[in-house]
């Protein structure tokens, strides 16, 4: 082997080992305000926390919640061509390659409960393993991913604000086991000219563990690029992503929230004469 060939081999080995050290992700994407790049390969991945055993059955539904899926039919949903075509069986719905589905009804500020399970046995890795997502207003994604012992870039793992912020910890259960998301979403506020008055904010509880707490969103979900707000209506659909992996969902419900009512000032005391 010539010296030139040897040095080329060594350079190749060095590049490969650097990639391995970095893990999945990117080193050429734009920087977020946090200083990390979008899908930064070097951003530390959150530590794993065992959330305990999966619930044996779907969790109770609050009396004032709107059920989006009760395990039997997709009446509340629409999809490609106007029909939601995900497989429904045995009390759950399953992604089947027919495209994203979204609620027919629209919501603004809300609390959303989601139960989901990643495919078992596992197939693929990183973003190609158990990928789906919950989108508020059809555009702000809380990532669904099989993040159990599945390294991927930190801002793309389960319960991340995709492309923006990793969860505080990785609370994933094993593939095939039911997991819960309880999400509080506060919609962004725009002025009459479409300028952002207040960003969207999200809190995510994953399997009973707080992983996002009232975090501001930088804009709608973007891949490999910086998010940018565009003004939209005060309500929008909840969208579930078909990323090609047979992720399952059951027991979805939502409670619209009225922050304004809570924040309303008390009536002024009558003036004394
Ligand atoms: Mg996704």
pLDDT digits (tens, 9 = 90+) for 58-114: 999 999 999 999 999 999 999 999 999 999 999 999 999 999 999 999 999 999 999
d(CA 129, ligand 1 centre) in Å:
10
Say whether pLDDT at 221 is over 50: yes
Domains of the chain: 31-41+66-258 (2.60.120.560)
d(CA 27, ligand 1 centre) in Å:
20
d(CA 127, ligand 1 centre) in Å:
8
d(CA 142, ligand 1 centre) in Å:
8
d(CA 2, ligand 1 centre) in Å:
47
d(CA 157, ligand 1 centre) in Å:
9
Say whether pLDDT at 19 is over 60: no
Say whether pLDDT at 1 is over 90: no
Q: pTM above 0.75? A: yes
d(CA 33, ligand 1 centre) in Å:
22
d(CA 156, ligand 1 centre) in Å:
8
Q: What is the pLDDT of residues 107-143, one digit of tens each?
A: 999 999 999 999 999 999 999 999 999 999 999 999 9
Count Cβ atoms below 10 Å from residue 39 Cβ, excluding itself: 23
- CA dist 184 and 107 (Å) reads 12
């Amino acid at each position: 082997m010539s010296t030139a060939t040897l040095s080329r081999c060594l350079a190749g080995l060095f590049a490969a080992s650097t990639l391995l050290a970095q893990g999945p992700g990117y080193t050429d994407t734009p920087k977020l305000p946090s200083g990390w790049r979008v899908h930064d390969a070097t951003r530390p991945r959150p530590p794993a926390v065992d959330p305990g055993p999966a619930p044996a059955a779907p969790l109770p539904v609050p009396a004032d919640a709107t059920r989006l899926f009760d395990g039997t039919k997709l009446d509340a949903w629409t999809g490609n061509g106007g029909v939601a075509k995900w497989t429904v069986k045995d009390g759950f719905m399953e992604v089947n390659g027919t495209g994203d589905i979204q609620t027919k009804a629209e919501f603004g500020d809300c609390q959303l409960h989601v139960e989901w399970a990643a495919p078992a046995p596992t197939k693929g890795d990183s973003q190609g393993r158990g990928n789906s997502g919950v989108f508020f207003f059809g555009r702000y994604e809380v990532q669904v991913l099989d993040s159990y012992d599945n390294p991927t870039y930190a801002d793309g793992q389960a319960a991340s604000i995709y492309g923006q912020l990793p969860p505080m910890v990785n609370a994933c259960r094993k593939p095939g086991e039911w997991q819960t998301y309880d999400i509080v979403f506060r919609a962004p506020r725009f002025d009459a000219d479409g300028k952002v008055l207040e960003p969207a904010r999200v809190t995510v509880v994953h399997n009973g563990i707080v992983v996002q707490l009232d975090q501001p969103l930088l804009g709608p979900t973007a891949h490999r690029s910086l998010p940018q707000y565009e003004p939209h209506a005060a309500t929008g659909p909840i969208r579930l992503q078909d990323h090609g992996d047979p992720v399952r969902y059951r027991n979805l419900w939502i409670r619209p929230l009225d922050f304004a009512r809570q924040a309303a000032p008390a009536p002024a005391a009558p003036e004394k004469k």
